[in-house]
Amino acid sequence: MNNTLVVVGAQWGDEGKGKITDFYARSADVVVRHQGGNNAGHTIVFDGRKFALQSIPSGIFNPHIKNVMANGMVINPVSLVEELERLHKAGVTDYQLFISDRAACVMPYHQMLDGAYESLKGGRLIGTTKKGIGPAYTDKYSRVGIRMGDLLDAEYFAERLHDALLQKNLELKMLGMEQCDFDTLYAQYRELGERLRPMICDTSVMLNREMEQGSKILFEGAQGVMLCIDHGTYPFVTSSSPTAASVPLNTGLAPRYIDRVVGVCKAYTTRVGEGPFPTELHDDTAEYIRERGHEYGTVTGRPRRVGWFDAVVLNHVRRVSGINYLSLMLFDVLTGLDTLRICTGYRLDGRHIDYVPSTIAELSRCEAEYIELPGWTEDITSVSDYDSLPANAKAYISKIEELTSTEVAVVSVGPDREQTIVRRPIF
Ligand code: IMP
């Protein structure tokens, strides 16, 4: 066993990874964000205070933890500096943050294009967060991207920006949008680079050194596997891979270091943005869950779509990402419902299937097949050991374990760090 733990979102994002990462971060030496950017919103509550992080790793509140923003991320330097300022204002000034020199930089034209491409999609919007994430990854792969390390080299950055703007301004012009001025962008991003310079480094070298020294490393995924560019509900996905499989590539660490993965899932399901969602609810139960679970987007404030727990989705995630344990979040939200449902399979064009079809056309035609379980009414928000949970609550958890062949190691019964039932220590 290595000293690593990967936290993976096992649904469509917003599963409560921030809380769990923060929980495990207490025993970590290093916390690493490895993909995505400020499209993520991680809410962490401790000492009665609530913090919303977007691109900064969740270990930032502990001065002993080294926090890494790895090469697989897309980083918006403007919003990163704002995020750091917000932390300073909240009194968080003693922290360690390392930013990969190879991470892609989100530029203003990425944000402009994100909105423009969405409006060109006719009625079939992806519903992106409009943070420029997709266009920044697109530029990375088409090799016109600017990397965080580039901002530190006056001459090289000028070349990279010049070349990027040749393409980007043409695109903006074709879309009838205002073009970007080289001098303004150059001055602004050079200044941001200098501001972040003390934190920008080769994080792969650093992480490998930490591994060799026996440090405990926690990898914090953003979004969820159902939003994975390869294994998610394409095209209603994000532009990176939140799977455990992507960690080595996204960090510059060998795959042999990755062997323990906790899938974080809600006791029900939510989704933001568009795309098929077989267990979605449109009734009073959805309202009940949305209000009790405060199911509104951290980044965009949009009401989240709500549905029953879907074991087909969880098994898909277990297969494509690898998951050894589950962390079941927002369990207390289900209290008070008479009957709970769990989806065990889909009916597609009259036949039963137990996998997630690759096309959204097929997934949209899938009807969820359910089993029903009795609910509970007892307040569980201050339960601290598993055995004290109501019998029906334990039966619900056992059923999830049986259907997903995965052990539930953690049950979260409220937003605070203390409201966490640990059945099995895994890190
Ligand atoms: P993008 O990541 O902004 O390109 O958005 C693509 C899709 O991923 C949209 O449906 C977003 O709502 C969704 N998405 C992106 N980040 C998150 C997240 O952190 N939680 C939940 N959904 C997300």
- Please say if the pLDDT value at position 269 is more than 80: yes
Q: Which long-range contacts (CB under 8 A, 24 or more apart) does 296-300 make?
A: 297/14, 297/41, 297/272, 298/14, 298/41, 298/42, 298/43, 298/52, 299/38, 299/39, 299/40, 299/41, 299/54, 299/129, 299/131, 300/129, 300/272
Query: What distances in angstroms separate CA 103 from CA 72, 124, 132, 155, 252, one per listed residue?
Result: 6, 30, 15, 19, 11
Give CA–CA dist 383/406, Å, rounded: 23
- Please indicate whether residue 77, judged by its CB atom, sits closer than 6 Å to ligand 1: no
Helix (H) or strand (E) holding 412: strand 407-412
pLDDT of residue 120: 84
Sign of CA dihedral 197, 202, 204, 208: negative
CA of 391 to the centre of ligand 1 (A): 36
Give CA–CA dist 268/330, Å, rounded: 8
Average pLDDT, the chain: 95
- Please indicate whether residue 222, judged by its CB atom, sits closer than 6 Å to ligand 1: yes
- What confidence tens digit (pLDDT) does each residue in 308-340 have? 999 999 999 999 999 999 999 999 999 999 999
pLDDT of residue 47: 67
- Please indicate whether residue 136, judged by its CB atom, sits closer than 6 Å to ligand 1: no
- What confidence tens digit (pLDDT) does each residue in 198-255 have? 999 999 999 999 999 999 999 999 999 999 999 999 999 999 999 999 999 999 999 9
Task: Provide the pLDDT confidence category of residue 297 given band limits of 50, 70 and 90.
Answer: confident
- Model confidence, pTM: 0.95
Domains of the chain by range and CATH? 4-101+199-257 (3.40.440.10), 104-196 (1.10.300.10), 265-422 (3.90.170.10)
pLDDT of residue 145: 98
pLDDT of residue 31: 97
Task: Provide the pLDDT confidence category of residue 365 given band limits of 50, 70 and 90.
Answer: very high
pLDDT of residue 80: 98
pLDDT of residue 363: 97
The residue-averaged pLDDT of 120-146 equals 91
CA of 237 to the centre of ligand 1 (A): 7
- Please say if the pLDDT value at position 413 is more than 90: yes
pLDDT of residue 300: 76
Which sequence positions are flagged as catalytic?
14, 42
DSSP, res 294: T
- What confidence tens digit (pLDDT) does each residue in 156-212 have? 999 999 999 999 999 999 999 999 999 999 999 999 999 999 999 999 999 999 999
pLDDT of residue 22: 85
- Here the tokens at position 426 are 């895994």
- Please indicate whether residue 13, judged by its CB atom, sits closer than 6 Å to ligand 1: yes
CA of 423 to the centre of ligand 1 (A): 31
pLDDT of residue 46: 63
- What confidence tens digit (pLDDT) does each residue in 55-101 have? 999 899 899 999 999 999 999 999 999 999 999 998 999 999 999 99
